[in-house]
Amino acid sequence: MSEAAYPPSWYAASATPLPQQPALEGALEDADVCILGAGYTGLSAALDLAEAGYRVVVLEAQRIGWGASGRNGGQAIVGYGCEQSRLEGLLGQDAARVLFDLSREGMDLLRARIARHGIPCDWRDGHAHVPIKPRQERELRAGIVEMAQKYDYPLQWWDRRRLRDELESDRYLGAVYDPASGHLHPLEYAFGLARAALGAGVRIFERSPVVELVRGNRPRLRTPHGHVAADFAVIAGNAWLRGVAPELESRVMPVGTYIAATAPMGEDRARALIANDMAVADANWALDYFRLSRDHRLLFGGRASYSSYPPLNLRGVMRRRIRAVFPQLDDLPIEYLWGGYVDISLNRAPHWGRLAPNVYFAQGFSGHGVASTGLAGRLIAEAIGGQSQRLDLFAKIPHAPFPGGRALRTPLLVLAMAWYRMRDALW
């Protein structure tokens, strides 16, 4: 795949190319729904709506899956970016339970779509959450009990010896293993959703950035060379809205995260490294996460950045982080290194709802969007179809803007993150 079309990454280099869709030229007035963004959320909503008989147009500023949907860590995890305790505090136990059950439905939807549409995205079962410090171990083990008692959700505790059977690293004290979560090839999954949507009649326009949302009885999404008028609009641009909806932008923070792909290590060495092919994430606030690729590379992510610039000496930083987990891979060079932005909300909870009776949105996935984006798209499609109860529950989650406005929110967040990193390092 051309690196000019997508930021260079192992995902872009290994995905089956998708034909480029045309740019929007002129006015379209015959759409029922117009969607901003051809990532997971927008494509999922488009697919559900088209299958329900709606005429759907999707406008994408770059290429399908160009943003976080095509660059992320690939880990699909039940739950949301915040802890369930946060949702309990915001909405109460009963509502938190409903939201958690919906996240399980989102995971089921992800698996069902992969199977139904034959999406070749290398799905693998299993995710491990691994503690480094005793404090983290205590918290994770208490969480297993809570998830079983409050949410009927079975998780497994693996002690150090059991984890060592599956993971060739001495860094961790054990693991919380979730067989219901897993991992996939993110860009291939985005392409698969797009193929399914196109097959259902969705019109997708690439290289068509939305520059204005015109609200009204029939909202319009305007691009530099045209516009789409529809009965409903859906805003699914996450960290890339660029002034289209200021009230949404103030409630998310774009955070850079980075992934390194090593050279292939061979099947035998890869199987020794992660025997059961699970995905792994540590329990630090600024976490590392890793998994194996289909061609036996280590895909290793982390090193969040809260500015618009990548960290200094990023390649060296990622090599040190890999060596801290897998010193036996010291001979293995990094062949690909890329980054992208996730959109975090202030409380890390999902921010989904409506700006007007005919304008819907979903954002604030906070690093947990692979499975929950499909759920967001489905709930928005349901609401457009007249069944809004499930989306309305998410809309009740309160979301404050980031303090400091556009000028100061990044420095304030950097200060907060410095404290969390110090906590991770010291206790």
CA gap 346, 398 in Å, rounded: 10
Task: Look at residue 125 in the predicted model and tell me its pLDDT.
Answer: 98
What is the domain partition of the chain in residue ranges? Answer: 124-182+253-344
**124-182+253-344: CATH homologous superfamily?**
D-Amino Acid Oxidase, subunit A, domain 2 (3.30.9.10)
347 Ramachandran zone, left/alpha/beta (phi>0; psi -120 to 50): alpha
Parallel/antiparallel/unpaired status of strands 298-305 and 289-292? antiparallel
Q: If you ran DSSP here, which 8-state letter would residue 171 be given?
A: S
Q: How many residues does the chain have?
A: 427
Contact criterion met (CB below 8 Å) for 283 and 131: yes
The secondary element (H helix, E strand) that includes residue 47 is helix 40-51
Q: Is the model's pTM score more than 0.85?
A: yes
Phi and psi angles of residue 108, each rounded to the nearest 5 degrees, phi first: -60, -40
DSSP assignment of 222-259? EETTEEEEEEEEEE--GGG-TTS-HHHHTT-EEEEEEE
Neighbours of 2 (CB within 10 A): 10
How deeply is 13 buried, as exposed, middle or buried, from its count of CB atoms within 10 A (0-12, 13-18, 19+)? Answer: middle
Contact criterion met (CB below 8 Å) for 394 and 87: no
Phi and psi angles of residue 274, each rounded to the nearest 5 degrees, phi first: -135, 95
Token digits for 214?
């015109």
Which stretches within 385-404 are classed as H helix?
389-395
Contact criterion met (CB below 8 Å) for 239 and 341: yes
Looking at beta carbons, which pairs linking 406-411 to residues 24 or more positions away fall under 8 Å?
406/250, 409/253, 410/253, 410/306, 410/307
Task: Look at residue 409 in the predicted model and tell me its pLDDT.
Answer: 52
* Beta-ladder partners of 228: 28, 221
Task: Look at residue 254 in the predicted model and tell me its pLDDT.
Answer: 87
| pLDDT tens by residue, 346-405 | 999 999 999 999 999 999 999 999 999 999 999 999 999 999 999 999 999 999 998 865
Phi and psi angles of residue 178, each rounded to the nearest 5 degrees, phi first: -120, 105
CA gap 202, 196 in Å, rounded: 9
| pLDDT tens by residue, 40-58 | 999 999 999 999 999 999 9
How would you write the pLDDT of the chain (427 residues) with one tens digit per residue?
A: 544 589 999 999 999 999 999 999 999 999 999 999 999 999 999 999 999 999 999 999 999 999 999 999 999 999 999 999 999 999 999 999 999 999 999 999 999 999 999 999 999 999 999 999 999 999 999 999 999 999 999 999 999 999 999 999 999 999 999 999 999 999 999 999 999 999 999 999 999 999 999 999 999 999 999 999 999 999 999 878 888 999 999 999 888 899 999 999 999 999 999 999 999 999 997 899 999 999 999 999 987 776 656 778 899 999 999 999 999 999 999 999 999 888 899 999 999 999 999 999 999 999 999 999 999 999 999 999 999 999 999 999 999 998 865 555 555 555 444 434 444 444 5
Task: End-to-end CA distance of the chain: give it in Å, rounded.
Answer: 45
Contact criterion met (CB below 8 Å) for 200 and 48: no
CA gap 40, 68 in Å, rounded: 9
Instruction: Tell me the C-alpha to C-alpha distance, in Å, between residue 420 and each of 73, 215, 254, 416.
Output: 22, 41, 18, 7
CA gap 415, 420 in Å, rounded: 9
Which stretches within 92-223 are classed as H helix?
93-117, 134-151, 160-166, 186-199
